[in-house]
Amino acid sequence: MLRIYNSLGRKLEKFVPRSRGCVKIYTCGPTVYARPHIGNFRTYVFEDALKRYFLYQGYRVQHVMNITDIDDTVMKEVRKTHEIRAALTRKYERLFRQDAKLLGITPAAKYPHVSGYVERMTGTVAALLKMGAAYKDGKGRVFFDISKFASYGKLAGRRIKGSGKMMREEYKPFQAGDFLLLKKCTEAHCEKCFKTRRGMCEPAWNVQCATMATAELGNNIDISMGGQDNLFNHHENTRAVAGTSSRDITCMCAT
C-alpha cells in the first residue's frame, strides 16, 4: 500500500487512483528564463522517483509537465538581454531537457507551453466571470474573488480572508487578496500579449496551470506536484481556480 504525504491537509494518506490501473500526474514545470539549478532539479528528481514507482507497480501513468514560456520573469530577462522572447525560452527549455536527461529523468508525455494555451485560459476566465467567482475592474483586468472559494488558504495551512486586490504575482499568505487572472493589453506590439477571441490580453500565472492541467488530463487529476516554494501562492491559487471550475485534484504534493 502506497501512502503519500498530501500537502492539502498535511498528512499521509493512502493513495488510490481515480481510474483503475491509471495515474494522472501534473507537475509544475520550469519557467524557461534561465538554466535550472540543483534545487530546482531536486523537485523534478523526486517527482520522477514517484512516477517510476507507479510504473514499477504496473500502473499506466499519464504525466503532463507545463513549460512557462511567458510571464513577468521571462520578460524581465528579455529586456535585460534584448533577445526575442521565443528564442530565449527555446534556448532555456533545450537546456532544461538536456540536464533532465543527464539526470536520468524520464520525460513527461506532454509539455504544454503557456503561449499555446492562452485562448483556453481566456475561456477559463470567462467561465469564472459567468459563475460570479471573478470580476473586472475599470482597467479591464480580471480578478478572482477569494471569498467565493470557501477553503482558500487550506493549502497554506491558514484561514485567509484577503485584503484588496493583488497585482503582484508573488506574495505571502499575510498579504493575500483577490488575485489577478487576466490583463487587457493596450499596446499594439507587446510580446506579453496574445490575440484571442476576447481581444488582446495577457494571462496571469494564477490561471495558467489550472487551465493546462485540465486541458490535458481532464477535470479529475490524481496528483499535482510542484516546489515547496510555490505552495503559496501559486499552488493555492491553482487549486482555487480549478476547484471553482468544478475540477478536482485529489493530492497536492509540495516537493
CATH code: domain 20-254 is 3.40.50.620
60-65 and 22-27 strand pairing: parallel
Sign of CA dihedral 86, 219, 25, 44: positive
- The 10s digit of each residue's pLDDT in 155-200 is 988 888 887 899 888 899 999 999 999 999 877 667 788 989 988 9
Give residue 64's pLDDT band: very low, low, confident or very high (50, 70, 90). Answer: very high
pLDDT for the residue 102:
97
CA–CA distance, 144 with 134 (Å, rounded to integer): 4
pLDDT for the residue 188:
61
pLDDT more than 70, % of the chain: 98
The radius of gyration computed from the CA coordinates of the chain, to the nearest angstrom, equals 18
Q: Where are the domains of the chain?
A: 20-254
- The 10s digit of each residue's pLDDT in 6-19 is 998 899 999 999 99
pLDDT at 33 over 80: yes
Contact 235, 28 (CB under 8 A): yes
pLDDT for the residue 252:
81
- The 10s digit of each residue's pLDDT in 215-250 is 999 989 999 999 989 999 999 999 999 988 766 777
In this prediction, residues 2-30 reach a mean pLDDT of: 94
Which SS3 state, helix, strand or coil, does residue 187 take? coil
Question: Is the pTM higher than 0.75?
Answer: yes
Whether the ω angle into residue 233 lies within 30 degrees of 0, i.e. cis, is: yes
Which SS3 state, helix, strand or coil, does residue 9 take? coil
CA–CA distance, 187 with 54 (Å, rounded to integer): 47
The 8 Å CB, 24+ separation contacts for 44-48 are 44/100, 44/103, 44/105, 45/103, 45/105, 46/225, 46/255, 47/225, 47/255, 48/104, 48/105, 48/106
CA–CA distance, 34 with 215 (Å, rounded to integer): 27
- The 10s digit of each residue's pLDDT in 131-158 is 999 999 989 899 999 999 999 999 988 8
pLDDT for the residue 105:
98
In this prediction, residues 42-70 reach a mean pLDDT of: 97
